[in-house]
Structure 1
Amino acid sequence: MRRPAPLPTPPRAQADAEADAAARALEGEHDAGTDATQAQASATEAPPATSPGSLDETAEVPWLRDRTREATDDRAATPAERAASALPFASVRRPAAVVDDEQTATGWRDVWRAARARRRALRREVRRFTARSRRRRVAWAVGVGAVVLLVVGSVGAAYSPLFAVERISVVGTETLPADALERALGAQLGRPLPLVDASEVKAALVGFPLVESYTLEARPPHDLVVRIVERTPIGVIQGRAGWTLVDAAGVALETTPDAPEGRPVLEVSGGTGSDAFDSVGLVMRALPDAIRAQVTRVSASTRDDVTLTLGATGTQIVWGSVDDTPMKARVLETAMGTRPPETVSTYDISSPEAIVIR
């Protein structure tokens, strides 16, 4: 049975053993050299012979004293120290595997602490140099947040029942009854003001021919105002169904079997779709209210021969074409102020620069 091989010597113990062996070898060489040198010196410098009687038994021999001191020093010194003293200019290199763990840990800890301190200092400097921009960003964020909150709150409140329609007011009517229009728009009650349906309002007002245009005005928190512009009737036209009240655009406002009182009769060639009717409509809308109220008949066969008749006196106004209509209206008003219709049979203003009064 074979004996097990001995375990290998650890690297550190092996290194120490090699260092001790080298020190012992150097020590032996040093002792041999020292003995030879001292023997040669003693042979060369031997003291003169003396008689036994002249020697002091207690006297110390110099060379023996030196040898004794060196031997004592050699016995007290360790092998490594003897090796170092034998080679004063040589150094025994320490193996790389022999490292002081405690010193290594202390070194890494110092490096880590220094790096952490550097990072902290860098962060402090960054915060110091970016303080203004950070304050600016905070101010912007607060401002934008406040605006967004205000907008969201306003929109939410506007579309909530807090701004529901509770009252509808109709203004601007002269002929139409306002309460009838308000009842027609009753479907908008209870709706938030921003959700009022304009198409439903239009559909409700289509049933009133006298309504020419309208506008909606919201008055928070609960009022809806409807402003009406009525059509201006210019007269009645006799037809198969009776007498139809029309405006300047030829829109039929109402039809009655008998001619309504206070409305001028329109005698127009070609009906409401002709050029003559368009001229009549322009002239009637251009007349001042006081003069239009006195007109009882309007006739026109073409667009250039419009003639009006005043009912109280039967005085005729020869208008002619629609050219310079605003100027003709001003000239007529001035002439009627100077010469009342009771004293005149005809006002010919077809040429406003040179009117003729007969």
Structure 2
Amino acid sequence: MKRPEGFDKAAQQPDPASAKPRRKRGAADSGATGGDSAVSSKKLRASRAPKVSSPTATRAPAPSAAREASTPTAGKKAPRTPRERSRFRLSRAEPSPDVVAKRQLRRAARDRRRAEKAELRRFTRRARTRKYTLLSIAALVAVLLGLIAVAVFSPILALRTVIVDGTNRIDPAEIQAAVETQEGTPLALLDFDAINTELSVFPLIRSYVTEIVPPDTLLVHIVEREPIGSVTIDGVFTLVDPAGITIQESAERIAGVPLIDIGGADTSSPAFAAVTEVLLALPADLRARVESVSATTKDDVSFVLSGVGQRVVWGSASDSARKAALLEALISQRDPAEAGEFDVSAPSNGIFRPS
């Protein structure tokens, strides 16, 4: 039955297992205490009987009661090992403010270090890129220099062949023999001073140019001295170039070049300089016809043409180009077989005097 303070408790049934055998008392005791024993035994059986409640009287335990039920009481032993109990107590213990502050400081320090490293990497990115670029270029240059050094100093690029061109009076074999001391030397290590010394003994060589042709060839381009004529020195015919350098000596007159008569002066005299200037001003075909040329001073140059012995009075070496053009015009107007004298000492007025 429902009452204001709750439902009535159900009648408790006596527990047969929990009932204890009653001790027999004497007649005096049972008679004196019969009523009290009956009342106390009823109360004892009512307290030991299980409580049975109706389905409508069942209540759900409160959350606080559930938490209290799940929490081990102080009187009961928790079913955990010592390590688990320690972890359980640490997890439930709230950290102190000092511990929280230290954790926050450590976290802030870590964040600051990360931020500083990120900023450092950002500001030094260009420097690192430039450094890597320079290192890459340096490595590439070193590799290239190594390859060049191996190729240059390798015996594969040693001198084995000498080719000579531009010679007319000089035997190319003599030039090759003079340079053969350099054979077997790497092309990059050729001693050009030694080559110059060897080639300077050839008077016919005016100049030369060397050219390296890999892998093993040296080209020597020779420019020979062009003889301008021959002079007689102590009864010896000496072939000279315009600079007066001796090209060849012979006991007999050298054919193909005019004989120069400068009155016993040497090749450094003004008369020889005037003669060479006049000869160089003549056209090549006309110069080839000159048999002899003479001068005692720089102003009285004259020469004789081959054939009938026509003579040309030139005078000084000034205006040689105009005199050469005037002489060509006069020769074209006269008979080659007619003997006589051409006078072009005055470039504006040429004269032919028949003999």
Q: Secondary structure at the match of 2:317?
A: coil
Partner Cα distance (1:338, 1:227) in 2: 43
Partner Cα distance (2:111, 2:320) in 1: 95
Compared with structure 1, are the counterparts of its residues 225 and 126 closer, same or farther at alpha carbon in structure 2 (3 Å cutoff)? same
Partner Cα distance (2:325, 2:140) in 1: 60
Residue type of the alignment partner of 1:309: V
* Residue 194 of structure 1: how far off its partner (Å): 2.2
Tell me, yes or no, if structure 1 residue 308 matches structure 2 residue 303: yes
* Residue 109 of structure 1: how far off its partner (Å): 5.4
> Residue 337 of structure 2 corresponds to which residue in structure 1?
342
Partner Cα distance (1:292, 1:131) in 2: 79
> Residue 83 of structure 2 corresponds to which residue in structure 1?
none
* Residue 131 of structure 1: how far off its partner (Å): 3.1
Q: Secondary structure at the match of 1:209?
A: coil
Deviations 1:331-354 (A, max 9, x none): 434544454643463332223233
Q: Secondary structure at the match of 2:314?
A: strand
Q: How many residues align?
A: 258
Partner Cα distance (2:260, 2:149) in 1: 54
Match of 1:320 among 305, 315, 318: 315
> Residue 327 of structure 2 corresponds to which residue in structure 1?
332
Partner Cα distance (2:323, 2:103) in 1: 108
* Residue 302 of structure 1: how far off its partner (Å): 0.2
The structure richer in helix per residue is 1
Structure 2: stretches of 5+ with no match in the other structure: 1-94
Structure 2 counterparts to residues 18-57 of structure 1, below 5 A: none
**Bigger Cα displacement from structure 2, 307-316 vs 279-288:** 279-288
Residue type of the alignment partner of 1:158: V
| Conserved? CA contact 2:342–2:352, under 8 Å | yes
Partner Cα distance (1:271, 1:245) in 2: 13
> Residue 281 of structure 2 corresponds to which residue in structure 1?
286
> Residue 31 of structure 1 corresponds to which residue in structure 2?
none
> Residue 138 of structure 1 corresponds to which residue in structure 2?
132
TM-score after normalising by structure 2? 0.65
> Residue 214 of structure 2 corresponds to which residue in structure 1?
220
Partner Cα distance (1:201, 1:102) in 2: 97
Q: What percent identity do the matched residue pairs reach?
A: 37
Residue type of the alignment partner of 1:194: A
| Conserved? CA contact 1:344–1:357, under 8 Å | no
TM-score after normalising by structure 1? 0.64
| Conserved? CA contact 1:209–1:253, under 8 Å | yes
Structure 1: stretches of 5+ with no match in the other structure: 1-100
| Conserved? CA contact 2:309–2:339, under 8 Å | no
* Residue 231 of structure 1: how far off its partner (Å): 1.0
* Residue 307 of structure 1: how far off its partner (Å): 0.9
Partner Cα distance (2:284, 2:225) in 1: 15
Residue type of the alignment partner of 2:173: D
| Conserved? CA contact 1:166–1:190, under 8 Å | yes
| Conserved? CA contact 1:241–1:255, under 8 Å | no
Tell me, yes or no, if structure 1 residue 297 matches structure 2 residue 295: no
Match of 2:199 among 202, 205, 219: 205
Q: Secondary structure at the match of 2:347?
A: coil
Structure 2 counterparts to residues 146-157 of structure 1, below 5 A: 146-157=140-151
